[in-house]
């Protein structure tokens, strides 16, 4: 694998918080990826909602399959622009580790519950999972990942939380949210690959669920242009295959667009190394035309899928589950496992405990503690 001078080189990593001897056969970023795959939080992703609740159907995306799709897209792009594929894979597989059960609904509810206790941000929680909550090593909490992987995991962060991070770890992963600089190209790429992945798979899941129709999607230029091309080439084709072929072409077009636009931006900025990348404006991007089409698709999904009355109804119940779980554990911390109950900051401990839950465990715990079954 050729590595561009502006890519992250594992031999030049800013290192781990607890220094470790190098592994005999794996690079530092490969080790990070392996640690993530073996973590408890990673295995839980299979039972966490992306858009549709986990029990609504076996074929919808979960956080796990979403993360795998992000890793596939990001690696495929990284290879073409000579970025570090292993780092991209590590970041992509870890990027949603901090997500609560029930997708964004769960996160919003938990954030509301945590008002007055420092709030809840899922990106920061992903970092907290790999830095602190995983308990797998004899001498430290967390997975002790490299700076570069942690930098990529912390995709967004509020100013207030960035300052807290900076106080704990001066010059660490919080710094860029204070200085308003960029992360590595590998991190920028995972961010965009995340968007490409969910835009495409939410169309697929939306149609599969019956909440979206192909006719409605005709109003989305990015979809319609490939849909028309597919039907022109295969006039007899019907149903699923039309949808899949359209999505496949949409994905390819976006991937090639990002590759071209990124190559051009990197050529213009000509960064000498990854620190020059961090100081430059964002360099991994769509072309303007594709960016506008992607935005229109997002807008369509927001109004027609994420805010669909059927999705909102389930979302409302899921938020109630999270709020009532939070209240129950705050009132009776001993209902949590002993190490969570024993924490000095009980609100944060309750948030950590709830955030770690899978959808079905949260629903079961809620039924156990309240006697009500909201998500049957
Ligand atoms: Mg994601």
Q: pLDDT category, 38, cuts 50, 70, 90?
A: very high
Share of the chain above pLDDT 90, in %: 91
> In the chain, what are the domain boundaries?
10-183, 185-309
Q: pLDDT category, 80, cuts 50, 70, 90?
A: very high
Does position 314 have pLDDT exceeding 90, yes or no? Answer: no
Question: Looking at domain 10-183, which of 3.30.70.600, 2.60.40.10, 1.10.3210.10, 2.10.109.10 is its CATH number?
Answer: 1.10.3210.10
Give 129 Cα–ligand 1 centroid separation in angstroms.
16
Q: In this predicted structure, what is the pLDDT of residue 81?
A: 96
Q: In this predicted structure, what is the pLDDT of residue 52?
A: 72
Once rounded to an integer, what is the mean pLDDT over residues 256-268?
98
Give 67 Cα–ligand 1 centroid separation in angstroms.
6
Q: Tell me the per-residue pLDDT of 193-237, one tens digit each, with 9 for 90 and over.
A: 999 999 999 999 999 889 999 999 999 999 999 999 999 999 999
Q: pLDDT category, 51, cuts 50, 70, 90?
A: confident
Once rounded to an integer, what is the mean pLDDT over residues 41-60?
81
Q: Tell me the per-residue pLDDT of 101-117, one tens digit each, with 9 for 90 and over.
A: 998 899 999 999 999 99
Q: Tell me the per-residue pLDDT of 125-168, one tens digit each, with 9 for 90 and over.
A: 999 999 999 999 999 999 999 999 999 999 999 999 999 999 99
- Assess contact for 251 and 279: CB atoms under 8 A: no
The answer for residues whose C-beta is within 8 angstroms of residue 39's C-beta and 6 or more apart is 97, 129, 130, 134, 136, 143
Give 292 Cα–ligand 1 centroid separation in angstroms.
20
Does position 95 have pLDDT exceeding 60, yes or no? Answer: yes
Q: In this predicted structure, what is the pLDDT of residue 54?
A: 64
Give 372 Cα–ligand 1 centroid separation in angstroms.
31
Does position 10 have pLDDT exceeding 90, yes or no? Answer: yes
Q: Which two tokens stand for residue 9?
A: 């080189």
Residues whose Cβ atom is located within 5 A of ion ligand 1? 96, 194
Please state the separation of Cα 258 from the chain's center in Å: 19
Q: Tell me the per-residue pLDDT of 343-376, one tens digit each, with 9 for 90 and over.
A: 999 999 999 999 999 999 999 999 999 999 888 6
Give 64 Cα–ligand 1 centroid separation in angstroms.
10
> What backbone phi and psi angles, to 5 degrees, belong to 49?
-70, 140
Give 193 Cα–ligand 1 centroid separation in angstroms.
9
Q: In this predicted structure, what is the pLDDT of residue 55?
A: 66
Q: pLDDT category, 25, cuts 50, 70, 90?
A: very high
Does position 1 have pLDDT exceeding 70, yes or no? Answer: no
Give 65 Cα–ligand 1 centroid separation in angstroms.
10
Give 90 Cα–ligand 1 centroid separation in angstroms.
13
Give 69 Cα–ligand 1 centroid separation in angstroms.
10
Does position 239 have pLDDT exceeding 80, yes or no? Answer: yes
Q: What is the Cα–Cα distance from 359 to 362, expressed in whole angstroms?
A: 5
CB-based contacts of 223-226 (< 8 A; 24+ apart in sequence): 223/250, 223/297, 226/250, 226/253
Give 66 Cα–ligand 1 centroid separation in angstroms.
7
For the chain, give the mean pLDDT.
95
């Amino acid at each position: 694998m050729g590595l561009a001078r502006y890519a992250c080189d594992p031999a030049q990593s800013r290192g781990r918080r607890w220094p470790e001897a190098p592994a005999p056969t794996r690079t530092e970023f490969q080790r990070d990826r392996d640690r993530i795959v073996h973590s408890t939080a990673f295995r839980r992703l299979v039972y966490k909602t992306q858009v549709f609740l986990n029990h609504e159907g076996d074929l919808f995306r979960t956080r796990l399959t979403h993360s795998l799709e992000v890793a596939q897209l990001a690696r495929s792009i990284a290879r073409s622009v000579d970025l570090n594929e292993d780092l991209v894979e590590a970041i992509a597989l870890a990027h949603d580790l901090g997500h609560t059960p029930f997708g964004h609904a769960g996160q919003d509810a938990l954030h509301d519950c945590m008002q007055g206790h420092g709030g809840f941000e899922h990106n920061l929680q992903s970092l907290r999972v790999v830095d602190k909550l995983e308990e797998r090593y004899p001498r430290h909490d967390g997975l002790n990942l490299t700076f570069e992987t942690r930098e990529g995991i912390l995709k967004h962060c509020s100013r207030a939380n960035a300052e807290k991070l900076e106080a704990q770890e001066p010059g660490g992963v919080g710094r860029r949210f204070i200085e308003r600089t960029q992360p590595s190209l590998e991190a920028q790429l995972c961010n965009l690959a995340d968007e490409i992945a969910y835009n495409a798979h939410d169309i697929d899941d939306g149609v599969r669920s019956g909440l979206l129709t192909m006719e409605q999607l005709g109003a989305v230029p990015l979809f319609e242009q490939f849909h028309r091309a597919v039907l022109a080439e295969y006039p007899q084709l019907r149903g699923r295959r039309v949808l899949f072929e359209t999505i496949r072409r949409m994905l390819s077009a976006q991937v090639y667009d990002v590759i071209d636009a990124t190559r051009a931006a990197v050529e213009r900025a000509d960064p000498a190394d990854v620190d020059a990348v961090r100081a430059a404006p964002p360099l991994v991007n769509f072309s303007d035309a594709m960016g506008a089409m992607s935005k229109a698709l997002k807008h369509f999904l927001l109004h027609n899928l994420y805010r669909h009355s059927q999705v909102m109804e389930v979302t409302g119940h899921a938020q109630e589950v999270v709020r009532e779980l939070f209240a129950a554990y705050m009132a009776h911390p001993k209902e949590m496992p002993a190490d969570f109950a024993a924490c000095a900051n009980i609100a944060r401990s309750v948030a950590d405990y709830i955030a770690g839950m899978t959808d079905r465990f949260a629903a079961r715990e809620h039924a156990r503690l309240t006697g009500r079954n909201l998500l049957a």
